Structure 1
Amino acid sequence: MTMAAPLDPVAGADEERVIALITELTTAVLREAPAPVVVWGTHGRDPVPALDDVLSRVQDRWLRRLSAADRLAVRVAALLRSPRPTPVSDAVIACRLAADCGHPVELPEFTSLTCGSVKPGRRGVWSAEVGTRPYGVGHIGDYGSIRAANAAVWDTVESNRETLRARMRAASPLLAEVAGRAWEEPQVAVWATPAQRDEDDPELVTMHQIAHRARVRVSRVEEWRAQHAAFPPPEQGTSVWFWPLVRRWLTDTGRVPALGFAADRPVLPRELGY
Protein backbone atom coordinates (compact mmCIF):
# COMPACT_ATOMS: atom_id res chain seq x y z
CA MET A 1 0.00 0.00 0.00
CA THR A 2 1.51 3.34 -1.08
CA MET A 3 1.41 6.33 1.18
CA ALA A 4 -0.05 9.51 -0.25
CA ALA A 5 3.29 11.26 0.36
CA PRO A 6 5.93 8.61 1.14
CA LEU A 7 8.58 9.84 3.54
CA ASP A 8 11.62 8.00 4.83
CA PRO A 9 13.08 9.84 7.82
CA VAL A 10 16.25 7.72 7.68
CA ALA A 11 17.53 9.19 4.44
CA GLY A 12 19.08 12.66 4.66
CA ALA A 13 16.97 14.37 1.99
CA ASP A 14 13.76 12.82 3.26
CA GLU A 15 14.65 13.78 6.81
CA GLU A 16 14.74 17.41 5.75
CA ARG A 17 11.36 16.96 4.07
CA VAL A 18 9.94 15.50 7.27
CA ILE A 19 11.23 18.43 9.30
CA ALA A 20 9.84 20.87 6.75
CA LEU A 21 6.45 19.14 6.78
CA ILE A 22 6.26 19.12 10.57
CA THR A 23 7.26 22.78 10.68
CA GLU A 24 4.58 23.63 8.13
CA LEU A 25 1.90 21.71 9.98
CA THR A 26 2.94 23.11 13.36
CA THR A 27 2.78 26.66 12.03
CA ALA A 28 -0.66 25.95 10.58
CA VAL A 29 -2.15 24.55 13.79
CA LEU A 30 -0.74 27.36 15.92
CA ARG A 31 -2.18 29.86 13.47
CA GLU A 32 -5.61 28.20 13.82
CA ALA A 33 -5.68 28.57 17.60
CA PRO A 34 -3.00 29.26 20.20
CA ALA A 35 -1.86 26.17 22.08
CA PRO A 36 -2.32 25.98 25.85
CA VAL A 37 0.82 27.08 27.67
CA VAL A 38 2.76 25.38 30.42
CA VAL A 39 4.92 27.24 32.92
CA TRP A 40 7.92 25.11 33.81
CA GLY A 41 8.55 25.41 37.54
CA THR A 42 8.71 28.66 39.47
CA HIS A 43 12.14 29.87 38.39
CA GLY A 44 10.98 32.62 36.08
CA ARG A 45 11.06 30.63 32.84
CA ASP A 46 8.89 31.87 30.01
CA PRO A 47 5.68 29.92 29.28
CA VAL A 48 6.00 27.42 26.43
CA PRO A 49 3.31 25.76 24.26
CA ALA A 50 1.98 22.44 25.58
CA LEU A 51 3.88 19.99 23.39
CA ASP A 52 1.38 17.15 23.61
CA ASP A 53 -1.43 19.41 22.41
CA VAL A 54 0.63 20.72 19.49
CA LEU A 55 1.73 17.24 18.44
CA SER A 56 -1.81 15.91 18.64
CA ARG A 57 -3.09 18.69 16.40
CA VAL A 58 -0.18 18.24 13.98
CA GLN A 59 -0.97 14.54 13.76
CA ASP A 60 -4.65 15.23 13.08
CA ARG A 61 -3.79 17.67 10.30
CA TRP A 62 -1.30 15.22 8.77
CA LEU A 63 -3.80 12.36 8.86
CA ARG A 64 -6.37 14.50 7.07
CA ARG A 65 -3.92 14.79 4.16
CA LEU A 66 -3.77 11.03 3.71
CA SER A 67 -6.10 8.81 1.74
CA ALA A 68 -8.57 6.62 3.63
CA ALA A 69 -6.44 3.54 2.95
CA ASP A 70 -3.31 5.26 4.24
CA ARG A 71 -5.08 6.45 7.39
CA LEU A 72 -6.03 2.85 8.11
CA ALA A 73 -2.47 1.65 7.42
CA VAL A 74 -1.01 4.30 9.74
CA ARG A 75 -3.47 3.41 12.52
CA VAL A 76 -2.78 -0.33 12.24
CA ALA A 77 1.00 0.21 12.09
CA ALA A 78 0.85 2.20 15.33
CA LEU A 79 -1.15 -0.56 17.04
CA LEU A 80 1.24 -3.26 15.88
CA ARG A 81 4.26 -1.35 17.17
CA SER A 82 2.86 -1.16 20.69
CA PRO A 83 3.90 -4.00 23.03
CA ARG A 84 0.78 -3.45 25.13
CA PRO A 85 -2.59 -5.14 24.57
CA THR A 86 -4.72 -3.31 22.02
CA PRO A 87 -7.37 -1.02 23.52
CA VAL A 88 -10.77 -2.08 22.24
CA SER A 89 -11.51 1.55 21.38
CA ASP A 90 -8.54 1.55 18.98
CA ALA A 91 -9.76 -1.67 17.35
CA VAL A 92 -13.16 -0.04 16.85
CA ILE A 93 -11.53 3.07 15.32
CA ALA A 94 -9.62 0.81 12.89
CA CYS A 95 -12.92 -0.80 11.88
CA ARG A 96 -14.45 2.61 11.20
CA LEU A 97 -11.44 3.61 9.10
CA ALA A 98 -11.78 0.36 7.16
CA ALA A 99 -15.39 1.26 6.37
CA ASP A 100 -14.11 4.44 4.67
CA CYS A 101 -11.98 2.14 2.48
CA GLY A 102 -14.94 0.04 1.40
CA HIS A 103 -14.50 -2.69 4.03
CA PRO A 104 -17.41 -2.14 6.42
CA VAL A 105 -17.52 -4.07 9.68
CA GLU A 106 -20.74 -4.49 11.64
CA LEU A 107 -19.78 -3.40 15.13
CA PRO A 108 -21.33 -4.81 18.30
CA GLU A 109 -22.36 -2.34 20.98
CA PHE A 110 -19.06 -0.88 22.20
CA THR A 111 -19.75 -1.29 25.92
CA SER A 112 -20.59 -4.98 25.41
CA LEU A 113 -16.92 -5.40 24.43
CA THR A 114 -15.42 -3.55 27.36
CA CYS A 115 -17.37 -3.77 30.59
CA GLY A 116 -20.01 -5.48 32.67
CA SER A 117 -21.33 -5.83 36.18
CA VAL A 118 -22.68 -8.30 38.71
CA LYS A 119 -25.23 -6.78 41.07
CA PRO A 120 -27.35 -8.20 43.89
CA GLY A 121 -30.96 -8.69 42.87
CA ARG A 122 -34.08 -9.45 44.84
CA ARG A 123 -34.48 -12.55 47.00
CA GLY A 124 -30.95 -13.87 46.78
CA VAL A 125 -30.28 -13.67 43.04
CA TRP A 126 -27.34 -12.04 41.27
CA SER A 127 -28.00 -10.03 38.11
CA ALA A 128 -25.45 -10.22 35.28
CA GLU A 129 -25.20 -7.31 32.82
CA VAL A 130 -22.88 -6.06 30.10
CA GLY A 131 -22.52 -2.40 29.23
CA THR A 132 -23.14 0.71 31.29
CA ARG A 133 -25.93 3.21 31.64
CA PRO A 134 -26.87 5.37 29.82
CA TYR A 135 -25.01 3.90 26.84
CA GLY A 136 -26.87 0.61 26.78
CA VAL A 137 -27.13 -2.28 29.20
CA GLY A 138 -27.74 -5.86 28.16
CA HIS A 139 -29.27 -8.00 30.91
CA ILE A 140 -27.85 -11.51 30.53
CA GLY A 141 -29.79 -13.23 33.27
CA ASP A 142 -30.18 -13.85 36.99
CA TYR A 143 -27.91 -16.36 38.69
CA GLY A 144 -27.83 -18.06 42.05
CA SER A 145 -24.18 -17.36 42.76
CA ILE A 146 -21.72 -14.54 42.29
CA ARG A 147 -19.33 -16.86 40.49
CA ALA A 148 -21.94 -17.99 37.96
CA ALA A 149 -23.04 -14.41 37.23
CA ASN A 150 -19.45 -13.22 36.94
CA ALA A 151 -18.58 -16.06 34.55
CA ALA A 152 -21.64 -15.22 32.44
CA VAL A 153 -20.53 -11.59 32.09
CA TRP A 154 -16.99 -12.55 31.07
CA ASP A 155 -18.30 -15.19 28.68
CA THR A 156 -20.67 -12.70 27.05
CA VAL A 157 -17.96 -10.07 26.60
CA GLU A 158 -15.60 -12.67 25.13
CA SER A 159 -18.33 -13.98 22.82
CA ASN A 160 -18.95 -10.46 21.53
CA ARG A 161 -15.22 -9.93 21.05
CA GLU A 162 -14.89 -13.18 19.11
CA THR A 163 -17.81 -12.07 16.92
CA LEU A 164 -15.99 -8.81 16.17
CA ARG A 165 -12.66 -10.58 15.59
CA ALA A 166 -14.27 -12.89 13.04
CA ARG A 167 -15.84 -9.94 11.21
CA MET A 168 -12.49 -8.10 11.19
CA ARG A 169 -10.65 -11.11 9.76
CA ALA A 170 -13.23 -11.38 7.00
CA ALA A 171 -13.13 -7.66 6.15
CA SER A 172 -9.46 -6.81 5.64
CA PRO A 173 -5.94 -8.28 6.06
CA LEU A 174 -4.99 -5.18 8.06
CA LEU A 175 -7.91 -5.66 10.42
CA ALA A 176 -7.03 -9.34 10.67
CA GLU A 177 -3.67 -8.33 12.16
CA VAL A 178 -5.42 -6.24 14.81
CA ALA A 179 -7.89 -9.07 15.48
CA GLY A 180 -5.00 -11.46 16.10
CA ARG A 181 -3.47 -9.35 18.86
CA ALA A 182 -4.23 -9.49 22.58
CA TRP A 183 -6.86 -6.93 23.59
CA GLU A 184 -7.16 -5.12 26.89
CA GLU A 185 -9.17 -6.96 29.53
CA PRO A 186 -12.77 -5.89 30.18
CA GLN A 187 -13.71 -4.02 33.33
CA VAL A 188 -16.20 -6.12 35.31
CA ALA A 189 -17.57 -4.72 38.56
CA VAL A 190 -18.87 -7.15 41.18
CA TRP A 191 -21.10 -5.42 43.70
CA ALA A 192 -20.58 -7.82 46.56
CA THR A 193 -19.19 -7.54 50.07
CA PRO A 194 -16.32 -9.75 51.24
CA ALA A 195 -18.80 -11.70 53.38
CA GLN A 196 -21.07 -12.32 50.40
CA ARG A 197 -18.12 -13.55 48.37
CA ASP A 198 -17.03 -15.88 51.17
CA GLU A 199 -20.55 -17.33 51.54
CA ASP A 200 -21.12 -17.70 47.80
CA ASP A 201 -22.43 -21.16 46.88
CA PRO A 202 -22.14 -22.25 43.20
CA GLU A 203 -24.74 -24.97 43.84
CA LEU A 204 -27.48 -22.33 44.18
CA VAL A 205 -29.34 -21.73 40.91
CA THR A 206 -32.17 -19.55 39.66
CA MET A 207 -35.14 -20.52 37.51
CA HIS A 208 -33.16 -19.09 34.58
CA GLN A 209 -30.27 -21.47 35.27
CA ILE A 210 -32.50 -24.51 35.81
CA ALA A 211 -34.20 -23.89 32.45
CA HIS A 212 -30.86 -23.45 30.72
CA ARG A 213 -29.34 -26.58 32.23
CA ALA A 214 -32.45 -28.64 31.47
CA ARG A 215 -32.54 -27.21 27.90
CA VAL A 216 -36.12 -25.95 28.20
CA ARG A 217 -37.84 -22.60 28.46
CA VAL A 218 -38.32 -20.91 31.81
CA SER A 219 -42.08 -21.28 31.35
CA ARG A 220 -41.67 -25.07 31.30
CA VAL A 221 -39.82 -25.04 34.63
CA GLU A 222 -42.57 -22.88 36.07
CA GLU A 223 -45.10 -25.49 34.90
CA TRP A 224 -43.13 -28.28 36.61
CA ARG A 225 -43.05 -26.29 39.82
CA ALA A 226 -46.80 -25.56 39.72
CA GLN A 227 -47.95 -29.04 38.71
CA HIS A 228 -45.63 -31.28 40.74
CA ALA A 229 -45.66 -31.03 44.51
CA ALA A 230 -42.40 -32.99 44.65
CA PHE A 231 -40.51 -30.30 42.75
CA PRO A 232 -37.91 -28.98 45.22
CA PRO A 233 -38.83 -25.72 46.94
CA PRO A 234 -36.49 -22.70 46.78
CA GLU A 235 -34.21 -21.86 49.66
CA GLN A 236 -36.22 -20.17 52.38
CA GLY A 237 -36.88 -16.51 51.70
CA THR A 238 -35.13 -16.57 48.32
CA SER A 239 -35.70 -17.22 44.62
CA VAL A 240 -32.83 -19.70 44.31
CA TRP A 241 -32.80 -23.52 44.42
CA PHE A 242 -30.23 -26.05 45.55
CA TRP A 243 -29.13 -27.63 42.28
CA PRO A 244 -28.36 -31.18 43.54
CA LEU A 245 -32.00 -31.49 44.68
CA VAL A 246 -33.33 -30.17 41.38
CA ARG A 247 -31.01 -32.42 39.39
CA ARG A 248 -32.16 -35.45 41.38
CA TRP A 249 -35.82 -34.58 40.71
CA LEU A 250 -35.15 -34.13 36.99
CA THR A 251 -33.33 -37.46 36.91
CA ASP A 252 -35.98 -39.36 38.90
CA THR A 253 -38.79 -38.02 36.70
CA GLY A 254 -37.03 -38.77 33.40
CA ARG A 255 -36.39 -35.18 32.45
CA VAL A 256 -32.65 -35.37 31.84
CA PRO A 257 -32.00 -33.79 28.39
CA ALA A 258 -30.91 -36.14 25.60
CA LEU A 259 -27.65 -34.18 25.33
CA GLY A 260 -27.19 -34.05 29.10
CA PHE A 261 -27.43 -31.06 31.36
CA ALA A 262 -26.04 -27.91 29.75
CA ALA A 263 -23.17 -25.99 31.29
CA ASP A 264 -23.88 -22.48 32.51
CA ARG A 265 -23.44 -20.27 29.47
CA PRO A 266 -25.29 -16.98 29.05
CA VAL A 267 -28.00 -16.34 26.53
CA LEU A 268 -26.58 -13.29 24.76
CA PRO A 269 -28.86 -10.26 24.92
CA ARG A 270 -30.67 -9.22 21.74
CA GLU A 271 -28.65 -11.28 19.27
CA LEU A 272 -25.15 -12.68 18.97
CA GLY A 273 -23.77 -9.31 17.95
CA TYR A 274 -25.50 -7.56 20.89
Structure 2
Amino acid sequence: MVVRVPPGDDLRLADHVVRLVNDLTAAVARSRDPLTVASRPGADGSHVVVPALDDLLHRVRELWWQRLEPADRLAVHVAAMHRDPRPTPLGDVLTACRLAAGCGHAVTVPEFTSMTCGSVKPGPRATWQAEVGTRPYGIGHIGEYGSIRAANAAVWDTIETNRELLRDRLRAASPLLAGVAARGWEEPAVSVWATPDQRDHDDPALVTMHQIAHRTRARPADVDRWRATHAAFPPPEPSTSVWYWPLVERWLADNDLLPDPVPDDRPTLPGDRSF
Protein backbone atom coordinates (compact mmCIF):
# COMPACT_ATOMS: atom_id res chain seq x y z
CA MET A 1 0.00 0.00 0.00
CA VAL A 2 1.32 3.44 -0.92
CA VAL A 3 -0.03 6.62 0.66
CA ARG A 4 0.93 10.00 -0.79
CA VAL A 5 1.29 12.82 1.70
CA PRO A 6 -1.19 15.57 0.86
CA PRO A 7 -0.13 19.20 0.99
CA GLY A 8 -2.13 21.55 3.18
CA ASP A 9 -2.39 23.18 6.56
CA ASP A 10 -1.67 21.64 9.96
CA LEU A 11 -5.21 20.33 10.46
CA ARG A 12 -5.14 18.34 7.22
CA LEU A 13 -1.69 17.06 8.14
CA ALA A 14 -2.92 16.04 11.59
CA ASP A 15 -5.82 14.12 10.01
CA HIS A 16 -3.36 12.39 7.74
CA VAL A 17 -1.23 11.40 10.75
CA VAL A 18 -4.28 9.86 12.44
CA ARG A 19 -5.11 7.89 9.30
CA LEU A 20 -1.54 6.68 9.06
CA VAL A 21 -1.66 5.42 12.64
CA ASN A 22 -4.84 3.52 11.92
CA ASP A 23 -3.47 2.05 8.68
CA LEU A 24 -0.21 1.05 10.30
CA THR A 25 -2.00 -0.65 13.19
CA ALA A 26 -4.21 -2.54 10.78
CA ALA A 27 -1.21 -3.65 8.70
CA VAL A 28 0.62 -4.94 11.76
CA ALA A 29 -2.50 -6.81 12.87
CA ARG A 30 -2.62 -8.52 9.47
CA SER A 31 1.12 -9.38 9.72
CA ARG A 32 1.81 -7.77 6.38
CA ASP A 33 4.89 -5.92 5.27
CA PRO A 34 5.19 -2.43 6.78
CA LEU A 35 3.52 0.35 4.87
CA THR A 36 5.56 2.69 2.78
CA VAL A 37 4.81 6.34 2.22
CA ALA A 38 5.79 8.29 -0.86
CA SER A 39 6.99 11.51 0.71
CA ARG A 40 7.23 14.91 -0.86
CA PRO A 41 9.22 15.11 -4.11
CA GLY A 42 12.98 15.02 -3.73
CA ALA A 43 15.51 17.30 -5.37
CA ASP A 44 15.27 15.45 -8.68
CA GLY A 45 11.47 15.55 -8.74
CA SER A 46 11.01 11.87 -7.84
CA HIS A 47 9.25 10.71 -4.68
CA VAL A 48 11.51 9.39 -1.95
CA VAL A 49 10.03 6.25 -0.39
CA VAL A 50 10.52 5.94 3.38
CA PRO A 51 9.12 3.57 6.04
CA ALA A 52 5.70 4.69 7.24
CA LEU A 53 6.71 4.72 10.90
CA ASP A 54 9.69 6.98 10.19
CA ASP A 55 7.50 9.34 8.23
CA LEU A 56 4.87 9.29 10.94
CA LEU A 57 7.30 10.09 13.75
CA HIS A 58 8.90 12.85 11.70
CA ARG A 59 5.56 14.54 11.04
CA VAL A 60 4.36 14.23 14.62
CA ARG A 61 7.63 15.82 15.70
CA GLU A 62 7.14 18.60 13.13
CA LEU A 63 3.63 19.39 14.36
CA TRP A 64 4.73 19.40 17.97
CA TRP A 65 7.82 21.54 17.28
CA GLN A 66 5.80 24.16 15.39
CA ARG A 67 3.56 24.72 18.40
CA LEU A 68 6.38 25.30 20.89
CA GLU A 69 7.37 28.75 22.07
CA PRO A 70 10.95 29.81 21.13
CA ALA A 71 12.16 29.37 24.72
CA ASP A 72 10.64 25.87 24.82
CA ARG A 73 12.33 24.93 21.55
CA LEU A 74 15.67 25.95 23.00
CA ALA A 75 15.00 24.04 26.22
CA VAL A 76 14.01 20.89 24.31
CA HIS A 77 17.09 21.10 22.10
CA VAL A 78 19.45 21.58 25.05
CA ALA A 79 17.75 18.76 26.98
CA ALA A 80 18.31 16.42 24.04
CA MET A 81 21.99 17.37 24.00
CA HIS A 82 22.31 16.56 27.72
CA ARG A 83 20.65 13.17 27.26
CA ASP A 84 23.26 12.15 24.71
CA PRO A 85 26.42 10.88 26.46
CA ARG A 86 28.56 11.42 23.36
CA PRO A 87 30.55 14.63 22.72
CA THR A 88 28.29 17.35 21.36
CA PRO A 89 28.64 18.07 17.62
CA LEU A 90 29.44 21.72 16.88
CA GLY A 91 26.43 21.80 14.56
CA ASP A 92 24.15 21.18 17.56
CA VAL A 93 25.89 23.98 19.47
CA LEU A 94 25.26 26.39 16.58
CA THR A 95 21.62 25.27 16.44
CA ALA A 96 21.33 26.19 20.12
CA CYS A 97 22.75 29.62 19.26
CA ARG A 98 20.19 30.14 16.50
CA LEU A 99 17.33 29.08 18.79
CA ALA A 100 18.64 31.37 21.52
CA ALA A 101 18.42 34.34 19.16
CA GLY A 102 14.65 33.83 19.02
CA CYS A 103 14.55 34.12 22.82
CA GLY A 104 16.44 37.40 22.96
CA HIS A 105 19.82 35.79 23.70
CA ALA A 106 21.77 36.62 20.55
CA VAL A 107 25.18 34.93 20.38
CA THR A 108 27.79 36.02 17.83
CA VAL A 109 29.40 32.83 16.54
CA PRO A 110 32.90 32.46 15.04
CA GLU A 111 32.95 30.94 11.56
CA PHE A 112 31.99 27.25 11.86
CA THR A 113 34.96 25.66 10.12
CA SER A 114 37.43 27.69 12.19
CA MET A 115 36.28 25.55 15.15
CA THR A 116 36.04 22.18 13.44
CA CYS A 117 38.95 21.55 11.08
CA GLY A 118 42.54 22.41 10.28
CA SER A 119 45.59 21.12 8.45
CA VAL A 120 49.38 21.10 8.46
CA LYS A 121 50.87 21.03 4.96
CA PRO A 122 54.42 21.10 3.58
CA GLY A 123 55.45 24.61 2.58
CA PRO A 124 58.35 25.93 0.50
CA ARG A 125 61.96 25.29 1.53
CA ALA A 126 61.38 22.94 4.49
CA THR A 127 58.64 25.00 6.15
CA TRP A 128 55.25 23.79 7.37
CA GLN A 129 52.03 25.72 6.71
CA ALA A 130 49.38 25.84 9.44
CA GLU A 131 45.80 26.41 8.29
CA VAL A 132 42.46 26.50 10.08
CA GLY A 133 38.99 26.38 8.55
CA THR A 134 37.83 25.89 4.99
CA ARG A 135 38.56 28.51 2.37
CA PRO A 136 37.11 30.93 1.46
CA TYR A 137 35.57 30.74 4.92
CA GLY A 138 37.29 30.43 8.27
CA ILE A 139 40.65 31.84 9.22
CA GLY A 140 42.73 30.14 6.55
CA HIS A 141 46.51 30.52 6.71
CA ILE A 142 47.77 31.25 10.25
CA GLY A 143 51.53 30.94 9.89
CA GLU A 144 54.67 29.14 8.74
CA TYR A 145 56.57 26.91 11.15
CA GLY A 146 59.89 25.12 11.16
CA SER A 147 58.55 21.84 12.54
CA ILE A 148 55.46 19.70 12.15
CA ARG A 149 54.89 19.75 15.90
CA ALA A 150 54.95 23.56 16.08
CA ALA A 151 52.53 23.92 13.14
CA ASN A 152 50.21 21.26 14.57
CA ALA A 153 50.22 22.95 17.98
CA ALA A 154 49.38 26.29 16.35
CA VAL A 155 46.40 24.75 14.53
CA TRP A 156 45.02 23.12 17.67
CA ASP A 157 45.58 26.26 19.71
CA THR A 158 43.78 28.43 17.16
CA ILE A 159 40.79 26.09 17.05
CA GLU A 160 40.63 25.91 20.84
CA THR A 161 40.89 29.70 21.09
CA ASN A 162 37.88 30.08 18.77
CA ARG A 163 35.96 27.47 20.75
CA GLU A 164 36.76 29.17 24.05
CA LEU A 165 35.58 32.46 22.55
CA LEU A 166 32.23 30.83 21.76
CA ARG A 167 32.06 29.20 25.21
CA ASP A 168 32.56 32.60 26.85
CA ARG A 169 29.74 34.08 24.78
CA LEU A 170 27.44 31.17 25.65
CA ARG A 171 28.18 31.56 29.38
CA ALA A 172 27.40 35.26 29.18
CA ALA A 173 24.15 34.77 27.25
CA SER A 174 22.07 32.64 29.66
CA PRO A 175 22.34 29.83 32.26
CA LEU A 176 20.82 27.40 29.75
CA LEU A 177 23.53 28.15 27.19
CA ALA A 178 26.16 28.02 29.92
CA GLY A 179 25.22 24.35 30.25
CA VAL A 180 25.96 23.90 26.54
CA ALA A 181 29.36 25.57 27.04
CA ALA A 182 30.15 23.17 29.90
CA ARG A 183 29.65 20.06 27.76
CA GLY A 184 32.42 18.23 25.96
CA TRP A 185 32.35 19.09 22.26
CA GLU A 186 33.38 16.83 19.39
CA GLU A 187 37.06 16.74 18.52
CA PRO A 188 38.15 18.85 15.53
CA ALA A 189 39.47 17.13 12.41
CA VAL A 190 43.12 18.14 11.95
CA SER A 191 45.07 16.53 9.11
CA VAL A 192 48.86 16.47 8.93
CA TRP A 193 50.24 16.02 5.42
CA ALA A 194 53.55 14.43 6.39
CA THR A 195 55.22 11.11 5.70
CA PRO A 196 56.34 8.82 8.54
CA ASP A 197 59.95 9.70 7.71
CA GLN A 198 59.20 13.43 7.95
CA ARG A 199 57.55 12.90 11.31
CA ASP A 200 60.47 10.83 12.60
CA HIS A 201 63.03 13.49 11.64
CA ASP A 202 60.94 16.47 12.78
CA ASP A 203 63.12 18.89 14.77
CA PRO A 204 61.31 21.39 17.07
CA ALA A 205 64.53 23.47 17.31
CA LEU A 206 64.02 24.63 13.71
CA VAL A 207 62.07 27.88 13.37
CA THR A 208 60.84 30.13 10.58
CA MET A 209 60.94 33.91 10.24
CA HIS A 210 57.32 33.87 11.40
CA GLN A 211 58.29 32.11 14.64
CA ILE A 212 61.32 34.31 15.29
CA ALA A 213 59.16 37.41 14.89
CA HIS A 214 56.53 36.03 17.24
CA ARG A 215 59.07 35.02 19.88
CA THR A 216 60.69 38.45 19.80
CA ARG A 217 57.34 40.30 19.69
CA ALA A 218 58.49 41.92 16.44
CA ARG A 219 57.23 42.02 12.87
CA PRO A 220 58.63 39.62 10.25
CA ALA A 221 59.90 42.72 8.39
CA ASP A 222 61.93 43.69 11.48
CA VAL A 223 63.53 40.25 11.66
CA ASP A 224 64.30 40.38 7.96
CA ARG A 225 65.99 43.76 8.48
CA TRP A 226 68.13 42.35 11.34
CA ARG A 227 69.20 39.55 9.05
CA ALA A 228 70.08 41.95 6.21
CA THR A 229 71.96 44.51 8.29
CA HIS A 230 73.82 42.28 10.77
CA ALA A 231 76.39 39.96 9.25
CA ALA A 232 76.52 37.95 12.49
CA PHE A 233 72.84 37.02 12.28
CA PRO A 234 72.80 33.20 11.95
CA PRO A 235 72.19 31.92 8.43
CA PRO A 236 69.30 29.56 7.67
CA GLU A 237 69.87 25.84 7.35
CA PRO A 238 71.29 25.00 3.89
CA SER A 239 68.68 25.15 1.08
CA THR A 240 65.87 25.97 3.52
CA SER A 241 63.94 28.89 5.01
CA VAL A 242 64.34 27.65 8.61
CA TRP A 243 66.84 28.61 11.31
CA TYR A 244 68.32 26.72 14.23
CA TRP A 245 66.72 28.42 17.24
CA PRO A 246 69.58 28.05 19.80
CA LEU A 247 71.89 30.04 17.47
CA VAL A 248 69.24 32.69 16.80
CA GLU A 249 68.39 32.87 20.50
CA ARG A 250 72.05 33.51 21.39
CA TRP A 251 72.33 36.29 18.79
CA LEU A 252 69.12 37.93 20.01
CA ALA A 253 70.34 37.80 23.61
CA ASP A 254 73.71 39.31 22.67
CA ASN A 255 71.90 42.18 20.92
CA ASP A 256 69.37 42.74 23.72
CA LEU A 257 66.45 41.71 21.47
CA LEU A 258 65.26 38.67 23.42
CA PRO A 259 62.13 39.27 25.54
CA ASP A 260 61.86 37.84 29.04
CA PRO A 261 59.99 35.58 29.03
CA VAL A 262 60.07 34.45 25.41
CA PRO A 263 56.51 33.92 24.10
CA ASP A 264 55.62 30.42 23.04
CA ASP A 265 54.52 29.61 19.51
CA ARG A 266 50.85 30.30 20.01
CA PRO A 267 49.81 32.29 16.96
CA THR A 268 48.62 35.84 16.97
CA LEU A 269 45.10 35.20 15.76
CA PRO A 270 43.63 37.15 12.85
CA GLY A 271 40.66 39.38 13.54
CA ASP A 272 37.56 37.54 14.70
CA ARG A 273 35.49 36.70 11.62
CA SER A 274 31.99 36.24 12.96
CA PHE A 275 28.58 36.15 11.35
TM-score by length of 2: 0.81
Pairing partner for 2:209 from 204, 207, 210: 207
Matches within 5 A, 1:212-223: 212-223=214-225
- Unaligned ranges ≥5, structure 1: 1-23, 32-43
- Cα shift readout 1:111-147 (whole Å, capped 9, x = no counterpart): 0111111111111111111112354442110101110
Describe the shift of the 1:84–1:26 C-alpha distance in structure 2 as closer, same or farther (beyond 3 A). Answer: farther
Aligned pairs, how many? 239
Describe the shift of the 1:219–1:175 C-alpha distance in structure 2 as closer, same or farther (beyond 3 A). Answer: same
Matches of 1:249 and 1:212, distance apart in 2: 16
- Unaligned ranges ≥5, structure 2: 1-12, 21-31, 37-49
Describe the shift of the 1:83–1:248 C-alpha distance in structure 2 as closer, same or farther (beyond 3 A). Answer: same
- Cα shift readout 1:69-112 (whole Å, capped 9, x = no counterpart): 11000000000111111111101100110001110000000001
Describe the shift of the 1:30–1:263 C-alpha distance in structure 2 as closer, same or farther (beyond 3 A). Answer: farther
Aligned: 1:115 with 2:117: yes
Compute the displacement of 1:25 (Å): 4.7
> Where does residue 184 of structure 1 map in the other structure?
186
Describe the shift of the 1:53–1:45 C-alpha distance in structure 2 as closer, same or farther (beyond 3 A). Answer: closer
Q: Quick one: which amino acid aligns to residue 90 of structure 1?
A: D
Matches of 1:181 and 1:187, distance apart in 2: 18
Matches of 2:128 and 2:95, distance apart in 1: 34
Pairing partner for 1:140 from 129, 139, 142: 142
Q: Quick one: which amino acid aligns to residue 69 of structure 2?
A: S
Describe the shift of the 1:30–1:213 C-alpha distance in structure 2 as closer, same or farther (beyond 3 A). Answer: farther
Compute the displacement of 1:61 (Å): 3.0
Matches of 1:26 and 1:88, distance apart in 2: 37
SS of the aligned residue for 1:116 comes to strand
Q: Cα RMSD over matched residues?
A: 2.3
Matches within 5 A, 1:168-183: 168-183=170-185
Matches of 2:109 and 2:18, distance apart in 1: 33
Matches within 5 A, 1:34-49: 45=33, 48=36, 49=50
State the percentage of identical aligned residues: 65
Describe the shift of the 1:107–1:218 C-alpha distance in structure 2 as closer, same or farther (beyond 3 A). Answer: same
Describe the shift of the 1:59–1:168 C-alpha distance in structure 2 as closer, same or farther (beyond 3 A). Answer: same
Matches of 1:26 and 1:126, distance apart in 2: 62
Matches within 5 A, 1:1-274: 25=14, 27-28=16-17, 45=33, 48=36, 49-50=50-51, 51-257=53-259, 259-271=260-272
Matches of 1:47 and 1:60, distance apart in 2: 20
- Cα shift readout 1:27-64 (whole Å, capped 9, x = no counterpart): 35999xxxxxxxxxxxx946544244543343233211
User: 1:113–1:160: 8 Å Cα contact kept in structure 2?
Assistant: yes
